[in-house]
A and B are shown apart, each in its own frame.
Chain A
């Protein structure tokens, strides 16, 4: 091969070589650096359904909390869920009108004996949300710990998880929840109920976390951490769980929506929230025969359950897409 003496030829060769230099070990060119967390957040914020649902859920929660107040703090709504008010419309029908917009005295109507139904539904929503989120958080913590231990250490923790899982195939979650809910009823208070529900809700998440940990622990970065002498819990907390975060968060939201349905179902059956306190399920249970005569007593609590559960499910879907963009491609 002759040496190129024509300058243009020389340039060509140089250009080609330059291109090759840059190819195999390309230096990053973008200035901005994104952690995986930031990428996930960005994808989540762009998920329209999830963002609408999140806004909606926050609005519902704000409405439920500010209207009748929270605990001893009073809210802006003038009526409460205990007192009896004179019946306004025929049969206590709702005074809410959309056009022209007006709330009226009893926007959601009144119960058969004259209680303000708006206050009752708001209280039920508060209770249902409080229980659902408590269950979601508590069960997520239990499930993550048991699942991580079962996946990483195998042995006893895994055997325990597997047998509990087998147990829940034989005793349905709802049945055990009903028995525990009956017990919690003696203690009283919605947080006792929430605690009991958390005890039966964590297994599904634990199994998923275990599966995730089982595959992560075989990854080479975990082997690298072990080879250096990193302690097991440090590996779990710093190396494995952050990588299982997607599974955990997505399923925590699903746990919350399941908890709403289980709580309302238990209250409906009479093993959940008990009078004089109320919950959306209890309201439906009390008014299920009123569908033909006073439909609002049946519709309002149901609509709120469906709205909350649907929002949480859509948020979970948005999180899933954000954590696992592979499913969105092609």
Chain B
């Protein structure tokens, strides 16, 4: 397995170098970097042209310029990058430092969310093949495949951001809106859960009533302006997550898994209640990371100690529980700060930029600021990816469900839920591992467009302005960052592939 991954990584790195040569040559031949000066009426024109030729080394042959860039870039391996200077004399290193973080955040977030949402939708549509839900999701996928990203982005800016900001001022929910939201959500949920007509009607009614009640309550307390999860709801949430994990992994009869998950959930609850106040005031990224690692460590320990014979399954279940509990905790902390954030930023969803400039506030305020900036670009960017993951997962799942070993599993008397989660799921994820790399490349391309729409000063912007000015340094910096990210993603996909498929371990 290690050999397999090492070989793939080696090829990727070689391609990374070759690709840089190709891109460099193409970029410097894509136009005339002096065009703007040639067309200007500046009396100092000749001087500026000479200066730029010198700056960019336009008098050197292309291979020398490339070599200069390559040697500078290869020093990144020892932590001393030199990515050259841009056409206006700015150091590209400085530009990249801020741009890379925001772009990678966007692309990685969109990628992870798309995988999770797409795979879940794909599995449900495969199980409910030819149901209304299946047709609905298929239609959504076709529309997503046909929507231009930039057009969607502009629409979201207008309707999701500006209209939402207008609404949040007093956050009023009218009765028709409440009823419509409840009806739509309940309809989707009953279609996804399925069953006979009676069961569907019950599902619909229960969900619709629940949502109406919640929304009415939210409206009464203007929850959307000062939301909170609070300790009681957090406790309920963690217990619910634990139950869900148990049901999805082993079922309730396996007491070892049950105990491990319960222990994890218990520690998570007590731990979070203990540190909540502290985190509220003085959280930083390292502190949160420590908390998270501690939670995972507890989960692993619980799984290993209490798992007994089903150690592996118990550990997996506990880790997932810890993960869910952590997510819930973060959500609680963020929501608790929302009303404060609204006071500082009355129009919370911005349409421009990746962060509010010169914004000085607490850790949680900054987190919310980053989140509100990233939410619309992420939605825009990941729509196509969700659609393609949904389609691939569905096809792969249907293929697996037709396999002989699924029939064998059913003939053993295993419940349909376990047939799906234990026998079909892992097999159907195997071909997806190869899709991830391609999809990630698509997301990076999409990020160039998304950043343009939302006015981000990210890597995509560096690429676009660089290319427009026939300026290789920023374009190559873009390439270096996104290419390395793609190679990393590719490697992760290979590792996932090798883990999922025991046949690969040669």
Binding site for B on A (CB under 8 A): 163, 166-176, 178-180, 182-183, 185-186, 257, 261, 264-265, 268-271, 281, 284-285, 288, 291-292, 298, 302, 305-306, 309-310, 313-314, 317, 327
Contacts and interface: CB of A to CB of B under 8 A. Distances in A.
Interface stretch (B39-47, B355-363, B481-489): B481-489
B111 to A, nearest CB: 13
B487 A170 contact: yes
Interface string B432-469: 00000110111011101100110000000001100110
B158 interface: yes
Given A171-B479, A174-B446, A178-B448, A306 B142 contact: no
Given A168-B441, A170-B441, A170-B487, 11 more contacts: A171-B22, A171-B441, A172-B445, A175-B445, A179-B26, A179-B30, A180-B26, A270-B464, A271-B467, A313-B142, A313-B146
B31 interface: yes
Interface in B9-26: 11-12, 15-16, 18-19, 22-23, 26
A173 B442 contact: yes
B483 A265 contact: no
Contacts of B277: none
Interface in B134-160: 142-143, 145-151, 154-155, 158
Contacts of A257: 145-146
Contacts of A306: 143, 146-148, 151
B452 A317 contact: no
B442 A172 contact: yes
Most buried by B among A170, A186, A264, A317: A170
A169 B150 CA distance: 22
Contacts of B23: 171, 176, 179
B142 A173 contact: no
Contacts of B468: 182, 270-271
B148 A170 contact: no
A314 B30 CA distance: 36
Given A163-B15, A171-B483, A269 B464 contact: yes
Nearest to A203: B438
A291 B486 CA distance: 35
Nearest to B26: A179
9 contacts: A166-B15, A169-B440, A171-B23, A174-B449, A175-B478, A176-B26, A182-B467, A265-B150, A268-B150
B483 A170 contact: yes
Contacts of B478: 175
Most buried by A among B18, B27, B142, B442: B142
B467 A169 contact: no
B19 A167 contact: yes
A317 B142 contact: yes
Contacts of B18: 167
Contacts of A182: 30-31, 467-468, 470
A264 B148 contact: yes
Q: Which 8 A-B pairs have the closest CB atoms?
A: A174-B445, A172-B445, A309-B146, A310-B146, A182-B30, A172-B441, A302-B151, A166-B15
Contacts of B398: 327
Contacts, number: 139
Grouping DSSP codes into helix (H, G, I), strand (E, B) and loop, the A interface class, with mixed when no group exceeds half, is helix
B421 interface: no
B29 interface: yes
Contacts of A176: 23, 26
Contacts of A298: 154
B258 to A, nearest CB: 37
A265 B442 CA distance: 13
A289 to B, nearest CB: 9
A179 B437 CA distance: 22
A174 B486 CA distance: 14
Contacts of A169: 12, 437-438, 440-441, 486, 490
Contacts of A168: 438, 441
Nearest to B384: A261
A82 to B, nearest CB: 23
A183 to B, nearest CB: 5
A265 B148 CA distance: 7
A264 B153 CA distance: 14
A170 B486 contact: yes
Contact of A183 (B12, B31, B445): B31
A281 B30 contact: no
Given A166-B12, A179-B27, A171 B19 contact: yes
A5 B4 CA distance: 77
Contact of B151 (A163, A271, A305): A305
Contacts of B467: 178-179, 182, 271
A47 to B, nearest CB: 14
A43 B482 CA distance: 44
Nearest to A287: B154
B482 A172 contact: yes
Contacts of A264: 148, 150
A313 B140 CA distance: 12
A298 B155 CA distance: 9
B449 A269 contact: yes
A257 B387 CA distance: 15
A314 B142 contact: yes
Contact of A173 (B19, B445, B486): B445
Given A292-B158, A313-B142, A173 B26 contact: no
A73 B105 CA distance: 51
Contacts of A166: 11-12, 15
A214 to B, nearest CB: 15
A262 B452 CA distance: 15
Contacts of B441: 168-173
Contacts of B490: 169
Nearest to B162: A292
Contacts of B19: 167, 170-171
Interface string B246-269: 000000000000000000000000
A183 B449 CA distance: 19
B148 A305 contact: yes
Contacts of A271: 467-468
A316 to B, nearest CB: 9
Contact of A265 (B22, B29, B149): B149
A176 B441 CA distance: 11
A257 B142 CA distance: 11
Contacts of B31: 182-183, 185-186
Nearest to B395: A327
Nearest to B479: A171
Most buried by A among B148, B442, B452: B148
B23 to A, nearest CB: 6
A314 B146 CA distance: 10
Given A175-B463, A313-B146, A265 B449 contact: yes
Contacts of B438: 168-169
B298 to A, nearest CB: 38
